[in-house]
Chains A and B, each alone.
Chain A
Amino acid sequence: QITLKESGPTLVKPTQTLTLTCTFSGFSLSTSGVGVGWIRQPPGKALEWLALIYWNDDKRYSPSLKSRLTITKDTSKNQVVLTMTNMDPVDTATYYCAHSGGSYSEGYFDYWGQGTLVTVSS
């Protein structure tokens, strides 16, 4: 049974750096083909893909946010960490982590965490 859970601050101030942790179970990030991604959703708005990391440490980032994002993994702890710099109120959103299944080039998110709401406000 695959489960994922996001953790991190619920409130950050503008210009601060956000650090979110995804802790998962039921799969290993050392298994070929496996990936974990981050997706966010501002209140009342659409889903937006942020980043993806694979078992081989290949990393992909949303082109529009690439300069602000870093994704890393700790295979021994079954965790993936996303950092986003220079937070702004428009970054207020629910942040989800998800397991990436399917092919390496067209992986899709088949298992999702419950999401964590991050508010950016002074």
Chain B
Amino acid sequence: SYELTQPPSVSVSPGQTARITCSGDALPKKYAYWYQQKSGQAPVLVIYEDSKRPSGIPERFSGSSSGTMATLTISGAQVEDEADYYCYSTDSSGNRIFGGGTKLTVL
């Protein structure tokens, strides 16, 4: 079955740039999306269609995709950005898939 692979954890100091990757064989043809989930809360969409930012999401969040890898970049990460981040996409059959999640630590 199709999978999206993320690193389990990423750690940065406040003000540094955090990059979280997501790899999947269908990503050259399918969009990647990114969700932020803070402890005890529902996920929040932070990037859609590879690189678009929903209204209300800070400009420090950006996304890109090249080949089989999508990347979420948080430029100047802040303590409040500490959360779990999930990539999401679809496979060729229209099934929806989430990646395994990446725990971002900012300290």
Contact = CB atoms under 8 A, between A and B. Distances in A.
Contacts of A105: 90, 94
B1 interface: yes
B56 to A, nearest CB: 12
A46 B6 CA distance: 11
A115 B101 contact: no
A90 to B, nearest CB: 17
A46 B100 CA distance: 5
Contacts of B54: 110
A102 B48 contact: yes
A60 B96 contact: yes
Contacts of B86: 46-47
A119 to B, nearest CB: 16
A60 B100 CA distance: 21
A114 interface: yes
Interface in A85-122: 96, 102, 105-110, 112-115
B66 interface: no
B42 A106 contact: no
A52 interface: yes
A62 B95 CA distance: 7
B42 A114 contact: yes
A63 interface: yes
Interface string A10-28: 0000000000000000000
A110 B94 contact: no
B42 A115 contact: yes
Given A47-B101, A49-B95, A63-B1, A112 B43 contact: yes
A112 B45 CA distance: 9
B57 to A, nearest CB: 12
A33 to B, nearest CB: 14
Contacts of B95: 49, 60, 62-63
A110 B48 contact: yes
Contact of A46 (B1, B49, B94, B98): B98
Interface of B: 1, 30-31, 33, 35, 37, 42-45, 48-49, 54, 86, 88-90, 94-101
